[in-house]
Structure 1
Amino acid sequence: MAKQYDYLLLGGGTSCGYAAAAIRDRDKNGSIGIVSADNQPPYDRPPLSKGFLKNPDLSLSDIHSKDESFYPDNGIELHLGVRCEALDRSAKSARLSDGSEVSYGKLLYALGSTPRRLDYPGSQNAVVLRTGADGESLRAKAPAAKSVVIVGAGYIGSEVSATLRAVDVEVTLLELGDSVMPGLPSKPTRAAVRDELERLGVHVQEGDTVVEADSTLVTCRSGRVISADLVLHAVGVKPNVELGSSAGLEVGNWGIRADSTLKTPDPSIWVAGDIAEYAEPITGRDYHAEHHLHAKWTGEHVGACMAGDAREYRKVPYFFSDVGRLSIILRGWPELADRSFVLGNLEEPAFSEVFVKNDGRVIGFVDVREDYKAQDPICDLFERLIGEGADLSSRLRDLENPSFDVLSLA
């Protein structure tokens, strides 16, 4: 007989951990099951590219989203090391890779994404960084490597480059685009990150990638040959939509489609985290994001909705990254802006960039500095301004002054 759950959470990542907590806060008795291909309970991924990577004393239990006692204490059952292989939405059941079947009343689809891998002769030996096991493997291999080549200079590639330099590993960072962090819509921030990486001793090479590799050498498209004992692919991810698509859930341009509450057209299924492509109510556009806080916040939101507290998901996006001494925070949707204003000191660096629409509405914000504590009040201010759609038309002349104090916008 199939195991029955009132709430079945598929994926087992950050979203599932926080969704389970939100459910239990509101429903003290409903049965909850979490299914994860990982052999760990839900954990927070940001340390994998930073503190966990350089500190051999940290274990995966140190980055768990919840204490291990949380799950048994709250009657939450974990199915670890198993995958969901099929969904039957009409029967409201899931077939797992261990041969068992579970049924559900409500389901969270939070299967996340899978790192992309480049295809070239020797690419099968490259590593990626997504799971805790990936983090343990990279941490074990890096100290013995004389030189590491990292392909892709986005968040993960830049963070890992800086972290490996902190433990004296030689690093070459290749980016096929024309700058590090190519997806970040802030030219000053991209420049600051590149400067910091070079200060740390990372060899940054834009406009180049790997075309061939063996156990000791990497050949680049430019013809450059680099000595490397280890290659890391950090070239983005692809959403794990196949299970949902096979079950008849709607797949959008990125992930599984949902409304502004994060519910799919199937009234029993919600989405959260990387996989969610939803009707974002502040901008009126379809949106998805790949970041820790998005996974946490959407998980908390969906857990509340599943337990009966249904409402729109209205959160101003929050991305953060640490590269060397730099703390980088992004709020909102700067990619939708028509113009921006840079305030502060680019050389230090300690600056903010404010992004506005042609009608004066503030739509995004980026802040870069070493003093991360100074970012909190600025970040909170712009969360409010962006969420309100504040009109800064009367302050544009002020914003043209690099010495203008953004906190005065309060």
Structure 2
Amino acid sequence: MVDAHRTFVIVGGGLAGAKAAETLRAEGFSGRVILLGDERDHPYERPPLSKGYLSGKEDRDSVFVHETAWYAGADIELHLGQPVTSLDREARAVQLGDGTVVHYDKLLLATGAEPRRLHVPGTDLAGVHHLRRLAHADRLRNVLAALGRDNGHLVIAGAGWIGLEVAAAARGYGAEVTVMEPEPTPLHQVVGPELGQIFTDLHSDHGVRFHFGVRLTEIIGQDGLVLAVRTDDGEEHPAHDVLAAIGAAPRTALAETSGLAMAPRADGGGIAVDASLRTSDPHIFAAGDVANVDHPLLGARLRVEHWANALNSGPAAARAMLGQEVSYDRVPYFFSDQYDLGLEYSGWAPPGSYDQVVIRGDAGKREFIAFWLKDRRVLAGMNVNVWDVTETVQGLIRSGRQIDPDALADPSVPLETLS
């Protein structure tokens, strides 16, 4: 039976929020758990939106974190399609869009992120898309299938993970794809110029056209339909649909207007939290894409927008809300699938942070592990079509030891012996 004397409220119906609610019950919390989501769909995982579900390899039901009946069975009060419009820290209450006021003893903000918008003429046309929510994926999946049937053309603004994964899905349907990217290579800010060419070659081999060093300046349309795009080099390119894949911004409005401390934009922005995921208000915690963590392992502030962070930080925040000792020191991790290439990336190596990239294996065959080093210490590792090494790679990062780059590059030297 639920004890109504204590109420924990979770704002955000994504993976972080759902896993936090699950953990509260698993850890024995008997009070009310109220989960507030502004989408009408039950909490779901986002990777399939640009991977398996978008490509048609997985069905829609596969994306959900729990079956619908689980929430009632776990005594989770789930409110969907209801945005939270204000947060009153003094009263310890949030207000919903319909005026309902919900009081809390502890509050978790798991509001996630939202896609950045293209600020160019023509973005109001029907054929301009974003990909962040399940409703976006529902629509885009139908669009890609239609483009494939009709030999249609998709232009993607941005060669980051979302842009490349959608490009792969679109080519799977048979659509023509052109990617516009202001940097000189794909994923330039993530894997750097040393590895970017591998992704250029991968997608080019599958028929994707790239235009680097350019930005979209206008989307041209007629009668509400997309006809073409213009770029800042004066060129015009045919298009039937456009995907804006230029990154995401943390959804911090609720936290900002309530006066919670924010992380500097230079550190990724978001809600500033300590290693226990507690905000500047001792009764409020944050997890997932919106949280900027004072990371105890990396010694820096870090905001991570990937699936594993939502999966792990939601439960960590729940335990901290219960008064347990928490030090959220997970090594950042994400994965990607593009055509026949699968990869896992662990660590944190932003541009300028490393002085050497070491390749172990055959990059030409796209079967290798790449390591980013600083002073011979591993900052990050990415295994491409090489499996069951994530734990070992993360061990190298955690150790902080200086490692011989030649041994790191030599496949005959077991990785386990280097940590």
* TM-score, normalised relative to structure 2: 0.91
Is 1:5–1:103's contact at 8 Å kept on the other side of the alignment? no
CA distance change for structure 1 residues 171 and 74 in 2, over 3 Å: closer, same or farther?
same
Structure 1 residues 72-83: aligned runs within 5 Å: 72-83=72-83
> What do residues 331-355 of structure 1 show as CA deviations (whole Å, max 9, x unaligned)?
1122333323111101101111222
- How far apart are residue 62 of structure 1 and its match? 2.0
1:256 and 2:258 aligned: no
Q: Which residue of 1 aligns with 2:340?
A: 325
**Aligned counterpart in structure 2 of residue 375 of structure 1, from 387, 409, 413:** 387
Q: Which residue of 1 aligns with 2:187?
A: 181
> What do residues 176-227 of structure 1 show as CA deviations (whole Å, max 9, x unaligned)?
1111112213434322211111111111111122212212122222222222
1:88 and 2:104 aligned: no
Moved more, 164-173 or 306-315: 306-315
Is 1:362–1:385's contact at 8 Å kept on the other side of the alignment? yes
Q: Matched residue of 1:185: which SS? A: helix
- How far apart are residue 275 of structure 1 and its match? 0.8
1:245 and 2:256 aligned: yes
1:50 and 2:51 aligned: yes
* TM-score, normalised relative to structure 1: 0.93
- How far apart are residue 325 of structure 1 and its match? 1.1
Q: Which letter maps to 1:396?
A: P
**Aligned counterpart in structure 2 of residue 161 of structure 1, from 160, 163, 167:** 167
1:285 and 2:300 aligned: yes
**Aligned counterpart in structure 2 of residue 308 of structure 1, from 323, 327, 331:** 323
Q: Percent identity?
A: 32
- How far apart are residue 400 of structure 1 and its match? 5.3
Is 2:5–2:31's contact at 8 Å kept on the other side of the alignment? no
CA distance change for structure 1 residues 28 and 263 in 2, over 3 Å: closer, same or farther?
closer
CA distance change for structure 1 residues 385 and 296 in 2, over 3 Å: closer, same or farther?
same
- How far apart are residue 75 of structure 1 and its match? 0.3
> What do residues 19-54 of structure 1 show as CA deviations (whole Å, max 9, x unaligned)?
111111112422101111111121000011111112
- How far apart are residue 239 of structure 1 and its match? 1.3
Is 2:361–2:409's contact at 8 Å kept on the other side of the alignment? no
**RMSD after superposition:** 1.8
Structure 1 residues 91-102: aligned runs within 5 Å: 91-102=91-102
1:361 and 2:408 aligned: no
Is 2:52–2:58's contact at 8 Å kept on the other side of the alignment? no
**Aligned counterpart in structure 2 of residue 296 of structure 1, from 311, 331, 334:** 311
CA distance change for structure 1 residues 226 and 58 in 2, over 3 Å: closer, same or farther?
same
CA distance change for structure 1 residues 90 and 169 in 2, over 3 Å: closer, same or farther?
same
Name the CA distance, whole Å, in 1 between partners of 2:38 and 2:409: 51
Question: Tell me, which stretches of 5 or more residues in structure 1 are unaligned?
Answer: none
Q: Matched residue of 1:124: which SS? A: coil
Q: Matched residue of 2:205: which SS? A: helix
Number of aligned positions between the proteins = 399
Q: Which residue of 2 aligns with 1:388?
A: 399
- How far apart are residue 388 of structure 1 and its match? 2.7
Name the CA distance, whole Å, in 1 between partners of 2:117 and 2:5: 37
**Aligned counterpart in structure 2 of residue 406 of structure 1, from 392, 395, 415:** 415
**Aligned counterpart in structure 1 of residue 145 of structure 2, from 143, 152, 162:** 143
CA distance change for structure 1 residues 269 and 368 in 2, over 3 Å: closer, same or farther?
same
Q: Matched residue of 2:230: which SS? A: strand
Is 1:150–1:157's contact at 8 Å kept on the other side of the alignment? yes
Question: Tell me, which stretches of 5 or more residues in structure 2 are unaligned?
Answer: none
Name the CA distance, whole Å, in 2 between partners of 1:403 and 1:208: 43
Is 1:239–1:275's contact at 8 Å kept on the other side of the alignment? yes
Q: Which letter maps to 1:160?
A: V
